[in-house]
Amino acid sequence: MSQLKNKLNTTAFPKENRVVFFVFWIMCVLILAGPYAPEARAVNIRSSVLLLHSYHPDLVWSRNVSKGVKTVLGTMPFPVDVRSEYMDTKRMNDPEYLDKLEEIYKVKYEGRKPDVIISADNNALNFLVERGQSLFPGVPTVFLGVNDFSEAMLKGRKDITGVVEAVGISGTIDAALRLYPETNRIVAYASDTSTALSNSRLFLKSSKEFTGRADFELKTGMSAEEATRHAAMLPQDTAILILSYLKEANGEIHPLEKTAKLISESSSVPVFSLWGFMLGHGIVGGKLISGVNQGETAAGMTVRILKGESVDNISIVRSSPNAYMFDAQQLKRLGYNAAGMPLGSTIVNKELSFYDRHKVKVWGAAGVFFVMVAVIMVLCRAVLARRKAERELRSSKERYDLVAKGTNDGIWDWDRNTDSVFFSPRWKEIIGYEDHEVANDIEEWKSRIHPEDYERVMDANNKFFKDHVDRFMVEYRMRTKKGDYRWILGRGTCLRDSEGQPYRLAGAHTDITERREAEEELRYLRNYLENIINSMPSVLIGIDASCNVTQWNMQAEKVTGLSSEKALGQSLGEAFPALREDRNRIMSAMMEGATLVDPPRVLNLKGEARYKDFTVFPLSGDDRGGAVIRIDDVTQRVRLEQMMMQTEKMMSLGGLAAGMAHEINNPLAGILGNLHNLRRRVYSDLEVNKQAADKVGVSLTDIRAYFEERDIPKLLNGIANSAGRAATIVRNMLSFSRKSDKHFEYHNIEQLLEETLELASSDYDLKRKYDFKKINIDRDYASGLPAVYCEGNEIRQVFLNLIKNAAEATSEKSYEGENPIISLRTAKESGMLVVEVEDNGPGMAEEELKRVFEPFYTSKPVGAGTGLGLSVSYFIVTDQHEGKMEVESLPGSWTRFTVRLPVG
């Protein structure tokens, strides 16, 4: 076994199989150990013992003896060979038979003498005492089962020892009374054999021990049948004791076992006896002679002899080694007082335990059990491994489910090898279907893609195949069950085979309809906002915290000529150079979050001087900072303010002029009046003149001649002219500054023109800058024109403006071979009175012609003109008089303004 074990241990086994192997190893040991162990032990030299039975082997007694002997000798540390001989002297015991036996044994054991002889029962001992010395010389003998032993029986033999046999009547009765305390009578049956007589004597003798406890009754001479009948009629407080064989009616000996059986079966009281072999045959038990005990005791002595102890030293055991033994079946049948059970009692014939009955099956089952255990262990291991895998799988599945649920994505999986598709319930739910309503077919997907998106989606999908892209993302619309469309964000990836072809595609669908709608709304709002911003007449520029342009509206484009695309991202200074110097102020406004408002300033944009308001609004509520700059063109407002100031000035000047005119007109009246008187007193033929001349003695003619001689009339004319001019100036000045209310009257248009010309010629500016006298005034007045109903002052103002402009125009041109000419023409055309003021100046370009009536448009340097003259004229003619005003020009040749006024 150790070799086997070593061999197994030296074999290398894969680690993972060790548990399985160990189980099998245990099983093998268990299965093999039983059958092969005895053989493995049969090695040493044997001792030899002859067990010589007096009777035949069928007797239970004989079997028990053998059993007892073999039990002890079998446990020896050395092997003992036990041979049994059965003399069968119950059937034959005459001297001839014994002689024959002797002869047989002599032949049989000649030269093969046993080391020790055990003799069982009296006959065998007697045989050996008488014939043993010649048959087995020098072989020690141990006897057992010897009744009525006496030293004489050994006839002086010293090499014999043994154990006697004696019935335990007192012990049996004692036990009977203890087990059945209600017993008051012991009935004993016996025959007339020697043993019966002996036992009967002992019974009667022991009755003295139990005097007062129970009555003893000995029935001798009854046959088995008689005893059986007798016993059946015994009262309940009786116990039966069978002391010996009973005879049958024919005188034959009735076997004890059968006797006991008959009696106990017919009687309802406990039956006791004295021999162990009767157990199981109806007796309750007793202190019984035990073949086993006899055998064991004798074998113990034999062992001592075999070990080399001298027989002399081993004394004869004179008390029979009886044992309290009871039949469990009978005890159960009759009931018993458990407290009365003697100590050390052996209960036989117990209900056989399961193990006793099914020993092989139990061991078989145990073997199977162990195999099963082993298999179970293996399976458990497998199950555990599987469970772990399942747990991981479940965990993985749960994670997948949770993630899918968390992202609210629909999942799809397309295996091209099998052309099978999986759409998750959520995938279908996004487009409004129950799980069962959409088949797992790729066409179900394709057929629901919006026709406008189809190509795009297929292109994205085909990138897997053509471009070997491993991921794709595409946004498209899918038709829902209701027939409307949802926006889907489709994302996917693929697995490729060894040739790089995708064989499995999988991914997710996200419902982005709301996001798309929000984006659409955002786009709309952005567009809306963009339109609002662009519709602003102001320049709006968005800048970030580092002064880079983030917003550039259409007005900004128009003003700078820089497109929004180019401007975005540029620094403010680059995009709008006019604001370059304001950078630091803008930055600090953003830092402080304070709105910066500048007064209007002149900005030169695209070569034109304009007044601009400049405001910086720092962005609030945003950590990123930045600001919006608003630039408003306030040129018009500024010009209006200037005009108002001018008007105010004129108004006050008008008041002043009126006062002044009065004061000047008085001296002028004095000068002119007196001049008039002077001339009349010299040149007119007044009577008073003649009278005065006569009085002083000179003739008027002489005086006049003198005056003539001294150029006095010329001097007087000079005074008249100067004073007259002064008077005209004052009158005209007053007529323009007059604060009077609108005063529509019928006017002669010719007269108005002439008055205006008069004023123009006395205009200080005109006189100084343009030599008005050098300009030829070409009049072409139509005759018979009707009067015009108009506000004379305003029309005069219109004409003055036109004439001044014409004069200015001529000054801008150098004339060679011709003179500067202003042509004034009047005419009547279809109910309108037409006045033309034409100059032969440099003319005007088309651009200038278009804008010439615009308020504040001026070709003059800043500050030189208000730019209002023509626009006010236009207003007066078209609005106040419901007339028309036009301009025509041939650049380089002439400019013609035409005023049409309604007649009447």
Partner 1 sequence: MMMHRIMVLDDDDQVRDSLVFFLEDEGFDVLGAVSGEDALEKLSEGGVEVVVVDLRLPGMDGTAFIHEAHKKWPELSFVMYTGSPEFRIPEDLASLGCVSPSLFLKPLIEPEAMSSEITRLISEK
Return the number of the residue (491 or 681) whose C-beta is nearest partner 1: 681
Return the number of the residue (60 or 727) whose C-beta is nearest partner 1: 727
Tell which positions 628-667 bind partner 1, by CB under 8 A.
658, 661-667
Beta bridge partners of 46: none
Taking CB under 8 A as the rule, does residue 716 contact partner 1? no
**Shortest separation between residue 717's beta carbon and partner 1, angstroms:** 14
Return the number of the residue (578 or 664) whose C-beta is nearest partner 1: 664
Taking CB under 8 A as the rule, does residue 902 contact partner 1? no
Q: Cα separations (Å) of 666 from 541, 659, 669, 718, 735?
A: 65, 11, 5, 19, 18
**Alpha-carbon distance 549 to 617, whole Å?**
14
Size of the site for partner 1 (CB under 8 A): 31
Residue 515, both tokens = 């996001």
- H-type alpha helices, 86-207: 95-109, 121-135, 169-179, 194-207
Taking CB under 8 A as the rule, does residue 740 contact partner 1? yes
**Shortest separation between residue 656's beta carbon and partner 1, angstroms:** 13
| Interface region with partner 1, contact rule CB under 8 A, candidates 132-140, 278-286, 401-409, 679-687 | 679-687
**Alpha-carbon distance 44 to 837, whole Å?**
166
Taking CB under 8 A as the rule, does residue 474 contact partner 1? no
Tell which positions 267-286 bind partner 1, by CB under 8 A.
none
Q: Which residues of 524-541 are buried (b: 16+ CB within 10 A; e: fewer)?
A: eeeeeeeeebeeeebbbb
Q: How many CA atoms lie within 13 A of 172 on its CB side?
A: 34
User: Packing angle between helix 291-306 and helix 60-74, nearest 10 degrees?
Assistant: 40
**Shortest separation between residue 721's beta carbon and partner 1, angstroms:** 12
Q: According to CB under 8 A, which one of 176, 303, 596, 672 is a site residue for partner 1?
A: 672
For residue 259, count CB atoms less than 10 angstroms from its CB and return exposed for 0-12, middle for 13-18, buried for 19 or more: buried
Reduced to 3 states (helix: H, G, I; strand: E, B; else coil), residue 173 is helix
Q: According to CB under 8 A, which one of 366, 375, 651, 688 is a site residue for partner 1?
A: 688
| Interface region with partner 1, contact rule CB under 8 A, candidates 168-176, 569-577, 676-684, 870-878 | 676-684
* Kind and range of the H or E run holding 667: helix 635-683
Return the number of the residue (404 or 727) whose C-beta is nearest partner 1: 727
First-last CA distance in the chain: 153
Taking CB under 8 A as the rule, does residue 785 contact partner 1? no
CA diameter of the chain:
251
Return the number of the residue (335 or 670) whose C-beta is nearest partner 1: 670
Residue 306, both tokens = 């075999």
Tell which positions 521-550 bind partner 1, by CB under 8 A.
none
Q: According to CB under 8 A, which one of 219, 450, 585, 738 is a site residue for partner 1?
A: 738
**Shortest separation between residue 730's beta carbon and partner 1, angstroms:** 7
Residue 467: count other Cβ atoms within 10 Å of its Cβ. Answer: 9
**Shortest separation between residue 704's beta carbon and partner 1, angstroms:** 17
- H-type alpha helices, 745-902: 749-762, 764-769, 792-811, 846-851, 869-875
Unique residue bearing structure tokens 């002899």: 305
Taking CB under 8 A as the rule, does residue 674 contact partner 1? yes
**Alpha-carbon distance 492 to 413, whole Å?**
9
Identify the CA nearest to 584 among candidates 620, 547, 553: 547
Taking CB under 8 A as the rule, does residue 703 contact partner 1? no
Return the number of the residue (367 or 673) whose C-beta is nearest partner 1: 673
Tell which positions 299-358 bind partner 1, by CB under 8 A.
none
Return the number of the residue (396 or 684) whose C-beta is nearest partner 1: 684
**Shortest separation between residue 731's beta carbon and partner 1, angstroms:** 6
Q: According to CB under 8 A, which one of 670, 718, 786, 891 is a site residue for partner 1?
A: 670
**Alpha-carbon distance 198 to 215, whole Å?**
20
| Interface region with partner 1, contact rule CB under 8 A, candidates 75-83, 467-475, 680-688, 809-817 | 680-688
Return the number of the residue (593 or 655) whose C-beta is nearest partner 1: 655
Per the document, the length of the chain is 904
Reduced to 3 states (helix: H, G, I; strand: E, B; else coil), residue 563 is coil
Return the number of the residue (495 or 656) whose C-beta is nearest partner 1: 656
**Shortest separation between residue 675's beta carbon and partner 1, angstroms:** 8
Taking CB under 8 A as the rule, does residue 37 contact partner 1? no
Residue 460, both tokens = 């994205």
Taking CB under 8 A as the rule, does residue 668 contact partner 1? yes
Site string for partner 1, 718-737 (x = CB under 8 A): -----xx--x--xx--xx--
Tell which positions 575-614 bind partner 1, by CB under 8 A.
none
Taking CB under 8 A as the rule, does residue 762 contact partner 1? no
**Shortest separation between residue 793's beta carbon and partner 1, angstroms:** 11
Q: According to CB under 8 A, which one of 17, 677, 699, 893 is a site residue for partner 1?
A: 677
The dihedral formed by the CA atoms of 869, 874, 876 and 882, expressed in degrees to the nearest 10: 170
Taking CB under 8 A as the rule, does residue 691 contact partner 1? no
**Shortest separation between residue 756's beta carbon and partner 1, angstroms:** 17
User: Packing angle between helix 712-737 and helix 792-811, nearest 10 degrees?
Assistant: 110
- Residue 186 one-letter amino acid: I
Return the number of the residue (279 or 733) whose C-beta is nearest partner 1: 733
How does strand 608-618 pair with strand 596-605?
Answer: antiparallel
Return the number of the residue (318 or 680) whose C-beta is nearest partner 1: 680
| Interface region with partner 1, contact rule CB under 8 A, candidates 314-322, 538-546, 673-681, 871-879 | 673-681
The arrangement of strands across the sheet holding 346-348 comes to: 215-220, 185-190, 238-242, 271-272, 285-288, 323-327, 346-348
Residue 36, both tokens = 């092969």
User: Binding residues for partner 1, per CB under 8 A?
Assistant: 658, 661-674, 676-677, 680-681, 684, 686, 688, 723-724, 727, 730-731, 734-735, 738, 740
